[in-house]
Chains A and B, each alone.
Chain A
């Protein structure tokens, strides 16, 4: 059973565009929702995270929107740059062991 569903699998935008990646979760015990960015040959690195008590969080050009009633959250990248080309993973965690459950990832390509 996949607990975090992520879409799309891949996404191509032009420089300056606003790619949007969506995730949906099933487990209502999840209480923290991070996004990770991964470049080829590297491990995932935390990008931004949100708790379900807020509907939006911004850090630089990255914004998470959160809809608790729909159990959905999304990542928006403003003014995207070629350097943003990477694989993005949404994730969710909850409970005392803080195990991360990941979505399947979105390969983002930002063309110059």
Chain B
């Protein structure tokens, strides 16, 4: 099925450990986004990539890095995990011409940092 695939679905990290969240889309979309969702906070943009080869900071980029590996893949890296990064992470992609209408979200990665 076409869409946005995120791996892993669940992860527990110890404080200070690093990990990379993977995201891939097969819709030939140009733009990709990483959001985090916390209770009562909605979804907040971490980083985005408007097109292959470009990345920009969103609202809450501290503690994260991203890589737009190719048009399909956009990864999010936590270099030194902190308990404040416990959250559900969503990747999304958007094609041309759709404005906000074209967003497709993955099913999320639930990350716990202990």
Inter-chain contacts of B101 with A (CB < 8 A): 32, 34, 46, 49
Q: How far is the CA of A32 from the CA of B94 in the complex (A)?
A: 14
Given contacts A102-B42, A104-B42, contact A97 B103 (CB under 8 A): no
Complex partner residue of B105 from A43, A93, A96, A103, CB under 8 angstroms:
A43
Answer whether residue A41 sits at the interface, using C-beta atoms and an 8 A cutoff. yes
Chain B interface main SS type: strand
Inter-chain contacts of A25 with B (CB < 8 A): none
One of B43-51, B62-70, B73-81 contacting the partner: B43-51
Given contacts A98-B94, A104-B40, contact A44 B56 (CB under 8 A): no
A-B CB contacts (within 8 Å), total count: 66
Q: CB within 8 Å of A: which residues of B?
A: 4, 31, 33, 35, 40-45, 48, 50, 56, 58, 90, 92, 94, 99-103, 105-108
Q: How far is the CA of A96 from the CA of B30 in the complex (A)?
A: 13
A104 touches B100 (CB 8 A): no
Given contacts A43-B90, A44-B43, A105-B42, contact A100 B103 (CB under 8 A): yes
Q: Chain A: interface residue count, which band?
A: 20 to 34
Answer whether residue A89 sits at the interface, using C-beta atoms and an 8 A cutoff. yes
Nearest chain B CB to A8 CB, angstrom units: 12
Residue from B58, B90, B101 whose CB has the most chain A CB atoms within 10 Å? B101
Q: CB within 8 Å of B: which residues of A?
A: 6, 9, 31-34, 41-46, 49, 89, 91-93, 96-105
Q: How far is the CA of A33 from the CA of B101 in the complex (A)?
A: 9
Q: A6-B42, A43-B92, A45-B105 are in contact. List 9 more A-B contacts (CB 8 A).
A: A32-B101, A34-B101, A42-B107, A98-B99, A98-B102, A100-B33, A100-B43, A100-B45, A104-B40
